[in-house]
Amino acid sequence: MDQRHRIAVEDWIDFEEEQHQVTGITGALVRLRSISGRHQTIMLSILLTDPTFRTLTAPPATSDNGTAGLDPGGVLASLTNKQARDDALELEAHLYEATTGFRSGSSFDKEPGEPRPQYHPDLLLSERVVTKAAELGLTERRIWQLLEEWEEKGLWALVDGRKARLKNPLRNIDERVITAIREQAAAEQRDSSSSVSTRFRRRTQNRLDADYGPGTVELPKPDTFRRVVKLLLHRSPSDPAYQRISDANQPDRTFGNVIAHRPGQVVMLDTTPLDVLAYDPAMNDTYNVELTVAIDVTTRSILAWRLTPLGTKAIDIGLLLADVMTPEPMRPEWADALRYQMLRVPFERHLSVDERLAEAAARPVVYPETLLYDHGKPYKSDVVKRACRKWRIDLQDARKLKPTDKPHVERLFGTIREQFSMHIAGYKGFNVAHRGKHVEEQARWTLDEIAEFFAEYVIAVYQNQHHRGLTLQGFPDLNVSPNEAYAMALGAAGYVDCPRDPKMYYELLPIADGGRAINSYGVELDYLVYNEDVLYKFRRAKSPYDNGRWPIRYDPRNLLHTYFHNPRNDTWYTLRWTKALSDLQPFTDITLREARRLVEQRGGDPKDKDFQEQIAKALWDLQNRTDAPEMWTKTDRTRHTRDRHRGEAQAQDEARSTPAVPATVPPPVPEVVEPTVPALHAVPDLPGEDDFDPFAVQPAEVWNPHTSQEG
């Protein structure tokens, strides 16, 4: 039957089992572009007489090449259509047989019965191609085209393009809509979460109207809009705000690496709230805890840690540096396998350098070279700067709101939460959405007990657990533990002896601004007067320092005492607050500020002579020793727990150094018991008027209203 065909440029046809578009006609020649992107030129007469030729009344549903610009091997490896890949492998075996005579392509891997007579290698290639075309039911020309494309593109050229076509779910979405969605999401990264179908959709439409005019570009239907947003954005506008803010803080370029080759070369410090509530049995209450850690980048070892009530001080950071260079003492209940000598290091040689390692636990002891920390106020204090200057440690602060600058310690906090915090009674989750209903009732461990649990976790578990970021040199697939990495690093870089200053604690304490003058009544600090007998020799005397004042050091965790260094005998002395009651518990600088605020609210003036007495009374009221603990408010219980724990921590840190000369403790006021029956006091017989010594008479007992009320 006579068939007439009309072919024009941009028409679509089927030819040799593939769809083509006519891109040009020059005389008797036709130029075609296949749907897979291949170009060819063929005579019009041959095209029209080919049995596989037929015209298409409509263009293909997807006329664009979805695989353009992609790695063919990657597209082939990611094919979900297993049949398309199997068909391509089968066709490749046929082409191997047509070209070599063997389906595997090699005579060494031939199958039984190969080579078949019609595909014997001694035959001409053209004869084998003709035989293969007849076997597959294809034209000889098609076999030659497949061979040419196979040599050029490999296996990908043999995949049926109709089965391997990639789908583009955004092909029907206006590019202006896609751009507006991305720009609006970037503008709301730090805003509160919103619904995709309401506020975010409305703001996106407003952006399109402002850019292109009202009604020019319309958003798709709500369901389609939600699907498009899900495809375009990693974080949906309805995701929690902290997740979107965290993503917004990430750098807009490739992440770098912090390189360290020896222990202590780079040490990262950071503080985070521990996801565990501590229990105070004295107050029958719970409170939050903060964890401060130091991690060595080279070995991923946890070098030191501090658990404190909420509100880490600068002195805590300074003493943390001292802990890094101090061996962790063994606990009596720990196994001998956790001793430092069990590390694969030359223990006897280390012991000859530092005798403290004899009773140390298996935790690396390093001398930090560079500290990497964030912009927290305790880290930028003078205490940390003086400590680093004393030990010649370089300081490097991370950028603000860039946790990716210290990723090792940030990831460590996640590991601690998964391996430690989740398994402690009182775990509260890292946000409210993960918090249980009865967390306060489940909390049962005190802060000291949690600190002991954490120390055992670090020594027994973390330091001996294989780390994915640590590998054996020369064996990238073999992971090692932080302790093993420390032993290998010592073999390459050697052991650096750490300073052992017995007066380290006092030298790390902050100094009162500008120094203080020693008056007849003592020294004054924050309107509190401290005194001790040793100051008698220095009263109204100028110091040998430049400003002529005496440096007075204090520990903000316990302001009952300050510390004075006697330059004559190089000894530290403890100065006691003159108005401190014998049974007044330690108090922090936070409690002192609160007491001063209460005094000023009552009309007190720092210039008044009785201002110290007013502060003492306010401190007494704050500590509420006249009330039962169950009558205290939440704020009072928190203040009492914080002051008590920080006072204990201060005492422990002071005990690790050479003890200062203690302050004179006033004798306790004896309890006054009122007699039930009034009685007369007999005057003893004196030995004689000439022998009377008025200084030998014992003074009368002083009645203390607070002591009597306690009784």
Q: Is 525 helix (H, G, I), strand (E, B) or coil?
A: strand
| Higher-pLDDT residue of 611, 666 | 611
State the average pLDDT over residues 75-82: 71
- For residue 300, pLDDT over 90 is answered with yes
Q: How many helices (H) and strands (E) does the chain have?
A: 21, 17
Helix or strand (DSSP H, E) at 639: helix 634-655
**What is each CA distance from 17 to 50, 157, 268, in whole angstroms?**
11, 14, 64
309 pLDDT higher than 70:
yes
What's residue 292's pLDDT?
A: 94
Share of the chain above pLDDT 70, in %: 84
pLDDT range class, residue 71, cuts 50, 70, 90: low
Mean pLDDT confidence for 8-14 = 83
- Assign residue 2 a region: left if phi > 0, alpha if psi is -120 to 50, beta otherwise? beta
* Token pair 């694969």 in the structure block, residue: 344
> At residue 532, what is the residue type?
E
Residue 262 has pLDDT above 70, yes or no: yes
pLDDT on residue 424 = 92
Tell me the per-residue pLDDT of 582-630, one tens digit each, with 9 for 90 and over: 545 777 877 788 787 878 777 777 667 677 777 777 777 766 543 455 5
676 pLDDT higher than 80: no
Give the pair of three-digit tokens for residue 191: 């805003």
Residue 170's CB: how many other CB atoms inside 10 A? 13
Structure tokens at 679: 């009685």
Other CB atoms within 10 Å distance of the CB of residue 341? 15
What average pLDDT score do residues 95-112 get? 87
553 has which bridge partners? Answer: 511, 563
Nearest to 293 by CA among 308, 280, 278, 275: 308
Calpha distance 494→509 (Å, rounded): 32
Specify whether the CB–CB gap between 396 and 403 falls below 8 A. no
**Mean pLDDT of the residues in the chain:** 81
pLDDT exceeds 60 at position 308? yes
Which residue would you say has higher pLDDT here, 263 or 626? 263
Q: Do the beta carbons of residue 208 and residue 256 sit within 8 Å?
A: no
Strand, helix or coil for residue 555: strand
Who wins on pLDDT, 73 or 217?
217
Whether the predicted pLDDT of 540 surpasses 70: yes
Residue 348 contacts residue 285 (beta carbons within 8 Å): no
Strands 18-26 and 29-34 turn out to be: antiparallel
Q: Model-level pTM? A: 0.66
More confidently predicted of 403 and 25: 25
CB 482, CB 514: distance < 8 Å: no
